[in-house]
Structure 1
Amino acid sequence: MTKHSVLFVCLGNICRSPMGEAILHDLATKQGVRDNWLIDSAGTGGHEAGSRIYSGAQRVLKKYGINYEHIARQITPQDFDKFDLILGFDVDNIRNLERIKPKNSKAEIKLVNFFNEKRKNKNIEDPWYPDTNQAFEAVYTDCLEACKTLLNEYK
């Protein structure tokens, strides 16, 4: 039975949020606790809905042994009741999430790096714009640290 639920949210749901989803899924599987988690991702915008994970994000995930299929989607009002924790990647994501969050929603909204002791509450910048391997590596590193902490805190 699922004990914890987390939704990773960025702008388009093709780079950062599917990376967070894939990393947490991978770590939870390796730790044998995958069945305790509902893990998903979405975008605040719908312009990429139906798209696959961006090649730069996929390339970095594969480098670390994570093969993950993903189709982008836009966040829905129901997500705020379905998920206990909704994690945005930057302050713009957080602002958008707070704006669209339904009244009386149970979801707690935080930055992904709230769970990253090395970069506590810092933005995880969108790697789309520089579109460099280094930018996608930085997202991977921050997500990995945050997901490790998240799994330890929500046992």
Structure 2
Amino acid sequence: MKIRYFLLVALLVLGLLQSRTWADVLSNGQVVRLFNLGSSQGPRYLNGLTSSSGVELTVSPEASGTRWKVVRLERDIVAFQCLGIVSGPRWLNGFTTTGQVKLSAKPDDDSGTRWRVHPEGKAFILECMGNVNGVRFLNGYTTSGDVELISSLDGISGARWKVVPSK
């Protein structure tokens, strides 16, 4: 009886340890890299270009703009602050009317700096919470390195992201 109880408790604890939620991976203040899970070969790390306000995918995880600080705003909504070494705008910002993704100077200036996190297996989908209706899902093109918002997830592998903890 004691062995059965021990095994049951061990299985429960093991199950709890293995079931990581998005909140575990994207906790407030954590520094992460966002790795694109697109099906084509090419650049995969989300890179903020603080000198030009741009956002792209890059091959090198060591590019300074690939480090993002997570700022948890609500239960399932976060903002991402680029930690690139060059001064300039730092907040990941989606424009739901045009689909563009750029960096913004302040997180409060634009509603597109708020991102809802949708877990999908071991991946995440990031939905831009901009106030204006339009395209919403962060998508990276691993063939070209471009990043934009899209309206549908159907058959789109580049809208899935893996979070890689960073220092």
TM-score (ref. length: structure 2): 0.28
Instruction: Answer with 1 or 2: which has the greater Rg.
Output: 2
Structure-1-length-normalised TM-score: 0.29
Which has the larger helix fraction?
Answer: 1
